Amino acid sequence: MRIIPAIDIIDGKCVRLTQGDYQKKKVYRENPVEVAKEFEDAGMEYLHLVDLDGAKKGQVINWDVIEDIQAETALHVDFGGGVKTEKEVESLLELGVNQINVGSLAVKDPARFGDWIRVHGRENFILSADVMNEYIRIVGWQEDSQVKIYDLVHQLADSGLKYITCTDISADGMLQGPNFNLYRKLKSKFPDMKITASGGISSCDDLEELKYMKLHGAIVGKAIYEGKIKLDELKSVV
């Protein structure tokens, strides 16, 4: 299972939200690039990078941070936050971003997302599904959709969708454990999908349980920044 530390960006700074609430923002570090280097120095191979400004505004904003992390580390980066256009997709791939998370657009225009998967390859894209009670929220978690995650995955499967990152918003930032039942249900419905869990991970025991469930990956954010999980502990779980 991939252990994927997370960096969320607002105004070029490394932050975390609680349950997706932009009013509950905590700045942890001024320089996300330095944080990424620390992850790499600790032996991490992957990074989940989110442009929260971009997610809210519907276009990628923090290009400088993306470029600097790509230039100064060898981390395998999956990036998300406001990707809406073919030009943004091409620019991110040209920068060397390994995978692009698509959330709001996948809900609003699944046909276009399916076209991107077919044109650029299924390995380059992740369906980023942020859910509350199994319904997907969009626009940086600010708007409800009437779309259930299972229905959208079924729809996109015909386009070749392979990777899903599912965040349980109610668990995110709470440090009380992930929604294991949600991931069991996803895994049972879509056994061939590469599913990554996100939200609520607070201990190595949580990671071991997700690993036992044979998930593809687990994203760890606040637990690292709050010192609940040490970077050297993460290596033991991989």
* Residues with a known catalytic role: 8, 130
Q: What is the DSSP letter of 60?
A: -
CA torsion 32-37-41-45 (nearest 10°) is: 80
Task: Please enumerate, as own/partner, the contacts of 185-194 that have beta carbons within 8 Å and a separation of 24 or more.
Answer: 185/150, 186/149, 186/150, 186/153, 187/213, 187/214, 187/215, 189/150, 189/153, 190/153, 190/157, 190/164, 193/153, 193/161, 193/162, 193/163, 193/164, 194/162, 194/163, 194/164
Task: State how far the Cα of 196 lies from the Cα of 203, in Å rounded to an integer.
Answer: 16
Rounded Cα distance between 154 and 148, Å, is: 10
For residue 74, CA distances in Å to 40, 59, 65, 214 come to 8, 25, 14, 26
**Cβ neighbours of 221 (radius 10 Å):** 24
